[in-house]
Amino acid sequence: MSPSGQQADVVVEVSEWDNMQVVRDQIPLITLQFKDLLDPERLHESLVRLIDRDGWRRAGGRLRLNKAGKIELHIPKEFSPTRPAVGYGHRHYNVAIADHPIGSKMVSSVDPEQPKFHTPVPDLESLILRPGHPRSFKDYSTGDEPVLNLSVVTFKDATLVSFTAPHCAWDMAGCKEIVEAWRCVLNGREHDIKPVASFTRDPLLEVAELAEEQKEDYLQEKYFYSTWSWGAYVARILWEGLRGWNKPTPVAISIPPSYMSALREEALATQGSGSEAPVPFLSDGDILTAWTTRLCAGAVSNSPRTITLLNVLDVRGRLPTIFGTSETYLQNCIMALHASLSSTDLPTESNRLGAMAGAVRRAIIDLATPAQVALQGRAMRKAIAETGNMPLYGDSSSYSIITSNWTSAGHFKADFGAAAAADGNAAGRAKVVMPVKVHGTSINLPPVVTCWHILGKDAEGNYWVSGSVRGVTKEMMMAEIAKSRKA
């Protein structure tokens, strides 16, 4: 309900995809770091103007739970200073970013020869997030916070632009659409903004209905947890938690072009030497997923375990009959692609990177077809109805690793030159102003799995990844990197 004295809100039920528990608890956080001075009010006003457009007002809604425990969006009929379209905060520090006690941790250089650890986002949040920023789904559902939040921090020589929204509002592809539309407003190109797909439409239902037309079996079904294996898995997690073995380690790592080239050579040279035939193509994402998995080897190298890899898949481009390109789908449209590996392969110097990268690519080839996506849609609807969550894959010994590749969101290529301050380093709005770094994570990541985010590639060709790793210390990962350099 709206606060006393306000007009009644427009109430919108979210899709089944958005009601999954796994997305309900997370709050993705993206921080764009600029060497230029941007105008905070111009950033804020243009974003508000976007969210006040028909369809886009969804992003200014307030999360609520109805009597059935399902999520609703309560959208104010009119936004106002007391009920804004966007949560907003701006702080200015009249010092160079390198002279600020926390800001100085964000200007670390990249090692041109090998991966380098940087200060992870959790250690930066007191600077990059506005005071009072929501920290949980409960903060949103019991308060009057809009879904979308913008925090801007300015220094004499730099600007930090951070935006967040609960994962139950939209996925990273939805975030990309918001940033692109926001930039259209900044650049006076509002005519290029795509309309938002109807609130009353639930694409997951349409995907599931498409499954009835398929003539093949769902390939991932055999990997579902059984009741016994799920119970044994939970018991293992609880035991490891009591022993302190799965304490999370937040990490942020840069990977220079020369090291990435070496990883590619290694993966291509070894990916066909195991029992599986080589795949025809390995993307940078495949190789980075394999490499980050290898960094986790220390968590499972002393016992036989199943490494359960779950790659997040955006299905918008996989089912063109359901998802058109002329509309924005401001919601979750994600599935998981499953691959399994044996931990006994990880400590072996030969073959492991190629085998892991090949397994990741093979999962995409086999499981991201229109037929398999439709069949997973049906399985998801069933699992959500029964458990409130997406289907879970693994066995009693699983060490689960979730990887989400945010490269296609294009954050490193987002030009905010139209928001350059008149007296800033950009020297006029015509100059291209792109982030020099992108910091990213999800607040409230699942507590029992390892999560990696591939943030993208900067202008110098360095890849950036962030993660929350269970059972592995930073020292163990550094040792793995040093070992791989000697191999």
Q: Could you read off the pLDDT of 348-359 as tens digits, one per residue? A: 555 578 888 999
Q: Which residue has the tokens 């968590």?
A: 299
Angular region, 224: left φ>0, alpha ψ -120 to 50, beta rest = beta
C-beta neighbour count of 228 within 10 angstroms:
10
The ranges of the chain with pLDDT < 50 are 1, 4-5, 347, 426-428
For the chain, domains (ranges, CATH) are: 10-192 (3.30.559.10), 203-407+444-486 (3.30.559.10)
3-class DSSP assignment, residue 206: helix
Residue 417: closest CA among 434, 404, 400: 434
Please report the pLDDT score of residue 230 as a whole number: 85
Please report the pLDDT score of residue 5 as a whole number: 43
Rounded to the nearest 10 degrees, how much is the dihedral formed by the CA atoms of 224, 376, 205, 168? 70
Which helix or strand (DSSP H or E) is residue 385 part of?
helix 370-387
* Rounded Cα–Cα distance for residues 282 and 92 (Å): 44
The angle, 0 to 180 degrees and rounded to 10, between the axes of the packed helices 474-486 and 284-295 is 120
266-279 tens-digit pLDDT: 999 888 655 677 88
Please report the pLDDT score of residue 262 as a whole number: 94
* Rounded Cα–Cα distance for residues 85 and 76 (Å): 9
60 DSSP assignment: G
Please report the pLDDT score of residue 273 as a whole number: 58
* Rounded Cα–Cα distance for residues 165 and 18 (Å): 13
Please report the pLDDT score of residue 303 as a whole number: 75
Strands 248-255 and 463-470: antiparallel
C-beta neighbour count of 401 within 10 angstroms:
24
Are 334 and 314 contacting, i.e. CB atoms less than 8 angstroms apart? Answer: yes
90-125 tens-digit pLDDT: 999 999 999 999 999 999 999 999 999 999 999 999
Are 470 and 61 contacting, i.e. CB atoms less than 8 angstroms apart? Answer: no
* Rounded Cα–Cα distance for residues 295 and 483 (Å): 11
> From the DSSP assignment, how many helices (H) and strands (E) are in the chain?
12, 15
- Rounded to 5°, the CA angle 425-430-433 comes to 50
Longest dimension (CA), the chain: 70
* Rounded Cα–Cα distance for residues 91 and 130 (Å): 8
**Beta bridge partners of residue 254, listed in sequence order:** 116, 464
* Rounded Cα–Cα distance for residues 65 and 46 (Å): 30
Are 170 and 181 contacting, i.e. CB atoms less than 8 angstroms apart? Answer: no
- Rounded to 5°, the CA angle 66-67-73 comes to 5
User: Is 0.75 surpassed by the pTM of this model?
Assistant: yes
**Beta bridge partners of residue 34, listed in sequence order:** 159
